[in-house]
Structure 1
Amino acid sequence: MKKKILAAILTAAMTIGMVGCGSTSSSDNGNNSASNTEASSNELTVWCWDATFNIPAMEEAEKIYQKDHPDVNVNVVETSWEDIQTKLTTAATSGQNDTLPDIILMNDTALLNNVKNYPDLFADLSDSGIDFSKFASYKTAIGTVDGKNYNVPFDSGVTALFIRTDVIGEAGYSIDDFTDITWSKFIELGEDVLAKTGKPLLSAQAGGPDLLIAMLRSAGDSMFDEDGNPNFAGNDVVAEAVEDYETMVDKGILVEVNDWDQYIGTINNGTVASVINGCWITSTIQAQEDQSGDWGVTTMPRLDNAPNATNYSNNGGAGWMVMNDSPNKDLAIDFLKNTFASSTELYDTILPTTGAVATYLPAAESDAYSQENEFFGGDKIYERFANYGAEVPAITLGQYWEEAKSALGTALTQIQQGQDIQEALKEADDTVSFAMSE
């Protein structure tokens, strides 16, 4: 089984991460001023998001590193991805690099653009002694720009349908009824579940295109074509995904909320009966301990008409980067080298509690991947994630991914306000093309 899981993750090396792993609002777990000029030689400041995923992973890494370096402390400052990006841009354009921490978590989809725009901000890790061949090749490729390695890869964002088996049971269904189905079937089931239980199946942030992008990715489609041009207008796969999304909203199967915290609330307070997201959402679901045994995991729906439709996708993935001007740069690199870049103990520890499916390949040989998870009815969910990851279609990941994501979100809002789908998608194309030309 270990060899099977390792082979699955190696095959998944053909996949490309999409959006970041569930950002939360910024809060302070330490010194949020975080000017690296104030950092002591034995304290590292880290900016990252998600109090149930990335933050506990970094805190566990601190414990492991302290076994041989007891005088080193890690100050983790919970910072949303949006805030990290804003602060990076501000520091780079104002020349105030000393306002940045020692280490940041970078969304996979944003790395290329940031390194291209601000090449002096990030430390080159090529000669750090880190063995990048030990990571899934697609993750190493994401962090490699002009032949230089800029990040220590972290997690996979393989997507799944997480579903309340108790709720769908009330409506007379089992998880098998939701396995390997189309979106039209999902909508049909969703209408019946809503009628019988009063619960919609899904929630999403209003104007947020994450679910749409996952739907595109499941069909091997991207926001960019093979030449790197925006790929919205005239794209039948995009139009089908938008129409399915709008149908779910209109029928009440999908409820939209204003922000990430409200989205998490719909999951934990039982407003919705399922979640479609990257496997990193596992930790958020498991945080509601009184729901243990009430959840199951299966494949996401596939588009009905897309020629390359599958039930597999990816949403998320990130890696750790060291700031080039950090006075603690060498310590930061050594810390990452001896934790996220080499410690199977770290990944064994965080897998059951966070659901962090590693892209560090030796971690896949661990028995932790074959453990049953009682929260999800005793299912071996990490085996599922590894096997699902092997089936995710490869796509074109453009430098201007974040700009395209924003443009698609705007188009979705305009369509919901009554604008013609193709007209809104053409405007999205134009917006991204303009950004690329600047």
Structure 2
Amino acid sequence: MSVLGKTWRYINEGNAHIVIGIQEERLCSAYVLRLIKEDEEAVDVNELRKSLDFVNFIMNPLLYNGSVCKLEIIELPTEELPGLINDLKPFRPTERLSKFCISPYSIKTRNLTVLNPDGVNYCVEIKPKEGFMAQCFRNYGKCYYCLKQYLKLRQNEILNISKYCPLDLFSGDRDRMKSALYHLSENPQNNFKIFKNGQIIYKMPNKDQFHEIIKKMHIFKSTSAFFSFTIETLLYKNKHTQIDNHSDDVTFIKENIHCHTTSNLNEGTLLYKIQRLQRLAEELTISTDNLEDKSLDYVSSLLEHIDPENSLHCATEQEKFLEKIEPLHKALISAVAKDCSIMIAFTPQLIVDYEYFIQVGENMIPFRASVADLEPKLPKVLRKREKMEKKLVEIYEEQLKNEGNSTPFGDQN
């Protein structure tokens, strides 16, 4: 099986894309192609270009200090598509097979699950979700993610409510962060995955399997040490960091009462940068009545605010940009940051002259923390969010009433 004359392997897929790794002569794929599903309508290459420009020139610079690998448009020969669709079929989940047409346009990007193509690679994918409590939920003491658990339970999307709270992950408090990661791994709901050499090896709740996977990495003596390593990658600030590689596992017992809003993230950390963008819409009041739901024209307007000489790779230019743009555009950038994925790739092998590593016990573990899923949202997401907020409050008030507790939590500052 080949694409553009190179061997590929199926990695994963979502509602919009099928991700395949392109094999070089090395063990792991250095880059991936995101094949675009187009059963409903053909891909508009101009809209696709806007989408990639948004990622390359706006979102990536806002989240990184240095340069990153840019996304590119790759055009596949149309005569190859039928064979590719047929070859993909055995690897795809049954529930995804209803969408079977693929656009000739695909997106080429770095394989964020791979750090060292010549060695063994692991990657943790975390969808952290909204890391602060929206003003409209403060009287209930619950964040957006935790309130949405009640909706998912009602709709039979989940068997039980997750004890993961994004506010714990974004707290900057290592104990709360470890509790968050523990509960996320215990009940992932597609928000926590582990990859080995580009292939998913953990995504479903299975405590025994999770412990075994961490053990077989031959890096961490316990899942607690693994969580500590993950936390340090999220709080990394260009300095030598060391964690104890202890053998004691911990269990967190947490009651789903109220979300804690205190946060002490240091500027410059990856979590701080994500949360800063998420908070852009916190004080805004935006009318959703006259939005052009299916247009990415606003991306062109945003790009006009960027100085081509300086781009957005320094804090001063970023602040200027965020001050100049319209409230609607701030809200749409915020919506992207609330739904992004963090990819933490690492390898047991030492990489010569590599800059980023964390010392785990006696071993230096190179890593790279990246952010994915940064494509622009259509304006209709703001209307959808507005409706969802009202629905979540209604469901939670019903829940409180059924439990015999109709008293709101009170304003939490």
Whose strand proportion is higher, 1 or 2? 2
Q: Which has the higher contact order (CA 8 A, sep 6+)?
A: 1
Q: Which TM-score band (shorter chain)?
A: under 0.3
Whose helix proportion is higher, 1 or 2? 1
State TM-score, norm by structure 1.
0.25
State TM-score, norm by structure 2.
0.26
